[in-house]
A and B are shown apart, each in its own frame.
Chain A
């Protein structure tokens, strides 16, 4: 691990002339087809779009099934379990709204449903 001192959010704000607006975290803007995911997320449920015709699970979801192009679908509850296969620890050089969170981990896992 390198020995460089972290740069505080106050320091980076001054150095880069950042406004409060620059530090506002981006929020997801749901689409017509992803809204049910975010509605469920509000209730602390992790749901996935499953095609009622062919059973394919799409995440992220799209307008129609990416395997058979059918519209009919249901939202199923994910197990919440996953297998980690890679991670990174962000220390520097992130978009400024995330600077105060440093260091933070981004991880990548595969769910038993076959989605990453």
Chain B
């Protein structure tokens, strides 16, 4: 990819939370229309429609099956559609979908791709959800039979990180507080009504020591969409294109014991070359960023990824977040939609929601959460049991 070859020109999103009456089909059709309208194009210009795989199927009317077999272009009236497919890499789906979109645009078959995500968890029983998420994050043969959980894995990473860096549990909790403050400014966030304090986070019910309920993400129904095009077309149809300036990826493992980073206490050292490469490809540095959109299924992960950016001394980001500098009004806005912890965990859509928020910020459409004059940002995502990591530098201009 050449820097600034592709651009995102419009987004759509529905409120995130408990909406058992709202089917995934309804979400998908709603966000698709909204993204196309927001982009200022006609639906007939859409030449490819990509769906994120949803997780936990309803056998009565399976969303994945319907989307794989072409329901979406028909339902939204995308009569110029030539290509449709489904892509997923768990929490990293925003990246794999976008890369697929870039490949399609690069092929020249079409110059307009629509990407859609929809998820409904609330119609499944807590037992079904608990079962699914034990399998998603842990190995079904080697870990699940021993009661391993996603939360326990994150708890281990948190313990190792705290021991290695001297970060306190209060500093870890302050990530949840900062995320909540951003979510309070987001009309579609699941938790946007009540502020939380470090004290409240630390004293909430213990889930997996040292993580409390407020340090663990909550599954939610939601969905979002975006329209991607070539930079050439973007300039013609909108005054507000958001360019993909540089990106980089790495894959580590499926089974946590096979992690490429070997030692989770030093995870940031494994991640930092990926961030560096993304910055290099964009021709920008971490200090040029106006916002840092860090994926964070758990608070500690946000700190580890922040450590990897080359912006702050590794191990000091807990204190930075605690100081309020990453919260609204702070010097370094981090994760402006509140992410999995406060916006809501929509399965494969967590990262897509953060990407959509990134676009809104750079288009000046982020409402109360708007970071004034934002020009460049770095966006991050990852999936599975920390199986991979992706960084993307985006901007509303192409640096000269």
Q: Of the candidates B203, B255, B258, B264, which one forms a contact with A2 in the assembled complex, judged by CB atoms under 8 Å apart?
A: B203
Say whether B257 contacts A116, CB under 8 Å.
yes
Say whether B159 contacts A86, CB under 8 Å.
yes
Is A101 an interface position by the 8 A CB rule? yes
Q: Of the candidates B141, B155, B213, which one forms a contact with A88 in the assembled complex, judged by CB atoms under 8 Å apart?
A: B155
Say whether A95 contacts B130, CB under 8 Å.
yes
Query: Chain B 144-164 against A: per-residue CB contact (8 Å), 1 yes, 0 no?
Result: 111111011101110110000
A60 to B144, CA, bound (A): 14
Query: Which residues of chain A have C-beta atoms less than 8 A from B141's C-beta?
Result: 28-31, 34, 60
A16 to B213, CA, bound (A): 18
Q: CB within 8 Å of A: which of B110-126?
A: 125-126
Query: Which residues of chain A have C-beta atoms less than 8 A from B147's C-beta?
Result: 90, 94-95, 97-98, 101, 104, 106
Say whether B160 contacts A86, CB under 8 Å.
yes
The segment out of B28-36, B91-99, B204-212 that lies at the interface is B204-212
Q: Least Cβ distance of A30 to chain B in Å?
A: 7
Interface size class of A (residues with CB under 8 A): 35 or more
- A interface SS class: loop
Q: CB within 8 Å of B: which of A94-116?
A: 94-98, 101, 103-104, 106-108, 115-116
Is A89 an interface position by the 8 A CB rule? yes
Q: Least Cβ distance of A42 to chain B in Å?
A: 14
Say whether B206 contacts A2, CB under 8 Å.
yes
Say whether A93 contacts B144, CB under 8 Å.
no
Is B134 an interface position by the 8 A CB rule? yes
Q: CB within 8 Å of B: which of A54-111?
A: 59-60, 85-98, 101, 103-104, 106-108
Given contacts A60-B255, A85-B263, contact A93 B127 (CB under 8 A): no
Say whether A91 contacts B146, CB under 8 Å.
no
Say whether B204 contacts A22, CB under 8 Å.
no
Q: Of the candidates B145, B146, B149, which one forms a contact with A93 in the assembled complex, judged by CB atoms under 8 Å apart?
A: B149
A17 to B263, CA, bound (A): 40
Closest residue to A109 on the B side, CB-wise? B257
A39 to B139, CA, bound (A): 19
Query: Which residues of chain B have C-beta atoms less than 8 A from A1's C-beta?
Result: 206, 209
Query: Chain B 231-271 against A: per-residue CB contact (8 Å), 1 yes, 0 no?
Result: 00000000000000000000000011111001111000000
Interface size class of B (residues with CB under 8 A): 35 or more
Q: Of the candidates A4, A85, A104, which one forms a contact with B205 in the assembled complex, judged by CB atoms under 8 Å apart?
A: A4
Is A18 an interface position by the 8 A CB rule? yes
Is B362 an interface position by the 8 A CB rule? no
Say whether B206 contacts A92, CB under 8 Å.
yes
Q: Least Cβ distance of A72 to chain B in Å?
A: 21
Query: Chain B 37-76 against A: per-residue CB contact (8 Å), 1 yes, 0 no?
Result: 0000000000000000000000000000000000000000
Q: Of the candidates A4, A22, A106, A107, which one forms a contact with B127 in the assembled complex, judged by CB atoms under 8 Å apart?
A: A22
Q: CB within 8 Å of B: which of A17-50?
A: 17-18, 22, 25-31, 34
Query: Which residues of chain B have C-beta atoms less than 8 A from A22's C-beta?
Result: 127
Q: Least Cβ distance of A66 to chain B in Å?
A: 8
Given contacts A104-B147, A106-B152, A108-B156, contact A92 B265 (CB under 8 A): no
Query: Which residues of chain A have C-beta atoms less than 8 A from B148's C-beta?
Result: 106
A103 to B265, CA, bound (A): 24
Query: Which residues of chain B have C-beta atoms less than 8 A from A95's C-beta?
Result: 127, 130-131, 134, 144, 147, 149
A88 to B208, CA, bound (A): 6
Query: Which residues of chain B have C-beta atoms less than 8 A from A108's C-beta?
Result: 156, 256-257
Say whether B156 contacts A93, CB under 8 Å.
no
Q: Least Cβ distance of B336 to chain A in Å?
A: 28
Q: Least Cβ distance of B195 to chain A in Å?
A: 19
Is B356 an interface position by the 8 A CB rule? no
Query: What are 20 A-B interface contacts by the 8 Å CB criterion?
Result: A2-B203, A2-B204, A2-B206, A16-B125, A26-B144, A60-B255, A88-B211, A90-B151, A91-B206, A91-B207, A91-B209, A92-B213, A94-B130, A95-B134, A95-B147, A97-B147, A106-B148, A107-B156, A108-B256, A116-B259
Which A residues lie at the B interface, using CB under 8 A?
1-4, 16-18, 22, 25-31, 34, 59-60, 85-98, 101, 103-104, 106-108, 115-116
10 closest A-B pairs by beta carbon, nearest first, are A88-B155, A89-B209, A86-B156, A98-B147, A116-B257, A88-B152, A4-B205, A86-B160, A91-B206, A106-B152
Given contacts A16-B125, A91-B209, A94-B149, 5 further A-B contacts (CB under 8 A): A2-B205, A30-B141, A86-B157, A89-B209, A106-B148
